[in-house]
Every structure is written in structure tokens, then in C-alpha cells.
Amino acid sequence: MKKAYFSERIYKNEIDASVVVRLTEQIERFNQMKRTSYQSMVKEKRTGKSSFPVSLHLAMKNLFHTNDYYANSAVREAKALMSSQNELQTLYKKQKDEKIKNTNDKIKKDGKYLKKLENTKSSFVKGKPKVQKRMGLTILPDGSVRYQKKDKILIWNNLFLFEHQFLDVQIKRIQAKLGRIRHRQQRLTEEKEKLSSTINSVVFGTKKLFKHQHSKEEYVKDQQLWREKFLQQRNKQMLISGRKDGKYGNFVFHYNPADHQLRITLDSGVVVSLKVEIPYGQKIVDDILTQQLNCKNKKLGGQPISWSVEDHGAYYIFKCLVETELNPHINFSTADGVIGVDCNVNHFAWANVTKDGNYLNSGVINFNLSGKTTGQTTKIIELEVIALVDIAVKANKPIVIEDIDTTISKTGDAYGNKKANRLKSVFAYRKMAQAIHSRANKMGVDVKEVNPAYTSISGKQKYMRKFGLSTHCSAAYTIARSGLGYKEKVPKVLRYLLNGSRERQWKQWSILNKKLNVRTVAFYEMYDVKKPTLRLNIFVPCLSSTETNHLAKTLS
């Protein structure tokens, strides 16, 4: 596992001024090499012609009069940036596809509604007025028209007023709306084609800061201030890759674990020395450096140790990047069962399950990420994950979570429910999963990921009422059972709804989910788990008329 250990802040006013000047020049020259390497690769991809007659490594070495170590690291950084841009472009294409699909669905939905309005308008023109009750419209005996949608009720005294004050207005509104959506669809299609045909460059120093020279008042008034900030951001970091055959795992940075002195050999041959303390992980770094120094055959048993230096204006921060071994004492055994975890936007739901898949107990760990910054979100999640992993440590059981990628699903909901979209954007599942993996490895707990398909649905329809659980705790229970290798068969009380279907289990749960699309509190009262042979009762008082009609239609 690759890990980075940060040093304490090394303030420039506390070290020799000549060291600061030399380090600043070296970092600037390194970043110039990186930018030149990247731009030459972009130019070669665009034109098909190389910018230099020799390899990029030799070209940078000759052009900037540097040594192999700096040139190699700069070229590697440029290649890594190119690779990340290619991956981003693939991701952006997938996101465009999702947005286009969402736009097409919206056009289809609004097109159907417009057709209904036009048909209603046509019936009025023909003198045979006819409205659709599904649209919430009703022609009353006295000739007035009532429109009901949720808690909103409107009444027109006659058909003429209804036609010109509602139908005509709605038709024009939907037509204009469809025009805007089609324009967006066309723009998204063009953007996707552009992604496939265009090779973009990169703004070193960030686009945001580059645009600030014309948009932020303090930079508009003082262009020199902006230039200084922009150059500082462009020349902020220098990363030198390690070599396992090096005495210290690196031919530029030599860190002595005895006195914690970091000696940096510049490409001019000058050596600068700084005392670098690592507040968290000092012993780990010292042990790895000691092992590297004592290694006899470094080509076989050595370890590359990369170093990075970051210039934050008033101070430097050094980072040591090393490959650490996974905890050798991780508990992989499921002999006692597992802990299933369902990650949600504002809580972790967990369920303790025996090795036979039987329920023991469950709980919820709540937190609030609303209105928090990225850093605050990370710290809150890490704090709650400590409590979550402690549950697994005390139970001596591995953890099972879902394998979810929310990168694509967050992009295709431009026309969805605003509240749901807001919650979805706050849902930091990747951070949650990474925090669980990191803490569990530290505490010696194995983490297993399973397919998330229909875990919440099967848990809700099969175990929620049986064990008196919440929807999320029942989902955590099915996640735990999935981690143990158990499959969720449809219970007897629901099996008749499949009409003898022999589809796969996930498909059966999909069919049931569409048929039993009602509120959780209502579903809870529809059947008695103590009498699994009895059919569902679709006339319980807590069901709304809409839900009852839906069930009567789908279950008939």
C-alpha cells in the first residue's frame, strides 16, 4: 500500500536564505521541464510529429542542463498527467452519455404531456370537450372545470376560460420548454463529439486562478500581484521518483534516520541540508530507511522511496512516499459471522450477522455533512468510521460493504427531484469506503465488497417487518448475508406475484419492486410475517388512494 508521510512545516525565515533561493530555483526549473514535456506530448498527439529528434528524457536533460534523475522525474510526471487526462476524457464521455440519456427521457415525458394537452385542446375545438382524469382534470356538472394536483386545486367557471387560461398557456409553456431541452441535447451531443476529436491541454496554475486575472477585483487592479500568485502556483511542487538500487532509495533526497537530516542534491551538484521531522509516521519512515540502508542486494530487496517538496509561500512541506505492507494480522475469518454496513448520506447502518446468516443485532451511527466543506466532510467521516470499525473489532468479525461507483449516477439528474439531487451530491461514498478500508487495515479487520444490486429492496421486502428493522438496517443485513455467500430468495408471501417467473433472483426483486411501489410505512402493514401463506392486504388504512389503485392494477 502506497502511503505519504508529511513533515512539519519548515518556515523559510528559520533556514538559511541561500537554501531557500537554491530550492526555489530548482523547483521552478523542474516544473519548467514538466510543462515543456507535457506540451510536447500534446503537440505530438495533435500533429503526429515529435518536437525533438531524441527521446523526451534526453531532450529535457540537454535543454535544461540537468541530470538524469531530475529529467526522468519531470518526464514521468508529465506522462502521469497525460494518462490522467485520458482517463478523465473517458469519464467525461460517460457523463455526457448519462446526461444525454436523461435529456431524452425528459423530452419523451414532456412530449407525452404535450400530446395529452393538444388532444384535449382538439376536443374543445371540435365541440366535444374531453379531459383526462389522470391529468387531474374534471368537468363538473355545472360546466366548470376543476384541476387538482397534490394540494393545489384550481376551478374555472366555464370551458372557454379553462381553454384559454390553462390549456393554451400550458401548451405554449411545454413547447418552449421542449425547445430549450432539445437545445441542451444538441449542445451535449456536440460537446461529446468534441471530447472525442479534441486533445485538450492543461492550465498549469489552475484555470480558476488564471481567470481571476480578469474577474477578481484585487488582481484586476494589481496584475503584478496576480502574476506572483500564478507563478507560485505553477511552481509549487517537485516530486522526485525513487530508485530501489539507491543507498537511501533515492539519488536526490538522502534522509538519515539517525539524525533526521534530509540532504538534497541539486542538479548543479550543490547539496543542501535540512532537518525534517515527520510528526505522524516517523518510526515507519525510519524503519523503512534503516531497512534500505542495511539491504545488501538492493536490486532484489531494495525499495524505491519517493520524495516531494511543496512550496507554500512562507514555508515548505516535505512528503515521503513509501510502499508499506498491509497489516499481517488482518482477520479474514467469517467463522463467527460478519458485520454488514450500509453507507448513507447522513449515517452508517450496520447489522451483526452469525456465520449461518442469522440476525444478532443492528444499529445506526449518525452524522451531518450538510453545508460542510470537503475537509470537514473528510474529518467527520473518519471520526465516525473509527466507531464503526470498533464494533467489528469487538465482535471479532470482518466488515462487508457495497461496491458502489457514484461518479456517473450523480451527473444525470438535471430534471430530477431537487431535494434528492442535493442529498445525492452530498453523498461521499468514495470517501466513506476509503476511510473504512484505511481504518480497518490499521485495526486488523478485513473489508469485503459485494454487488449492491437490490440489497435495499430485498431487505425491505423480506426482513424489515420480520426483525422490526429500519430500511437501512435491513439493507445492511442483506449486505452481510451476501458477504457470507447467501442468496436472497423471494419469500412465500410474495412469490405468487411473480406468476411462476423463473427469472434470476435479481430480476425477480426488480419485478416485485415495480409492483410494490408504495411507501415503506404502508408496506410494513400489508402482510403478516407470522402467516406467510396469506396474500397481501392492499386495503390497509395507511395506504393512500393512489397507492391502492396502483396495487390493484399491478397485482390483478
Which cell goes with 509?
426483486
**193, pLDDT greater than 80:** yes
| CB distance 344 to 472 below 8 Å | yes
Which cell goes with 258?
539517525
| CATH classification (class only), 338-554 | alpha beta
pLDDT tens by residue, 77-86: 999 999 999 9
C-alpha pair distances (Å), 493 with each of 87, 528, 533: 48, 9, 6
pTM tops 0.85, yes or no: no
* Range 62-65, long-range pairs (CB < 8 A, 24+ positions): 63/33, 63/36, 64/29, 64/32, 64/33, 65/267
| CB distance 384 to 369 below 8 Å | no
Q: Residue 223's pLDDT is what?
A: 93
The most confident of the ranges 297-311, 402-416, 511-525, 531-545 is: 297-311
Rounded CA-CA distance 509/411 in Å is 26
Q: Residue 533's pLDDT is what?
A: 64
Residue spans of the domains in the chain: they are 2-19+204-323, 93-197, 338-554
* Range 429-436, long-range pairs (CB < 8 A, 24+ positions): 429/343, 429/404, 430/406, 431/377, 431/378, 431/381, 432/343, 432/348, 432/381, 432/385, 433/343, 433/401, 433/404, 435/378, 435/381, 435/382, 435/385, 436/341, 436/385, 436/388, 436/389, 436/399, 436/401
pLDDT tens by residue, 472-513: 999 999 999 999 999 888 877 777 778 777 777 778 888 888
Mean pLDDT of the residues in the chain = 89
Q: Residue 429's pLDDT is what?
A: 85
Q: Residue 532's pLDDT is what?
A: 57
**49, pLDDT greater than 70:** yes
pLDDT tens by residue, 237-255: 999 999 999 999 999 999 9
pLDDT tens by residue, 121-145: 999 888 888 888 888 888 888 889 9
pLDDT tens by residue, 345-364: 889 999 999 999 999 999 99
| CB distance 376 to 365 below 8 Å | no
**423, pLDDT greater than 80:** no
| CB distance 342 to 472 below 8 Å | yes
* Count of positions (residues) in the chain: 556
pLDDT tens by residue, 4-17: 999 999 999 999 99
Nearest Cα to Cα of residue 465 among 536, 515, 548: 536
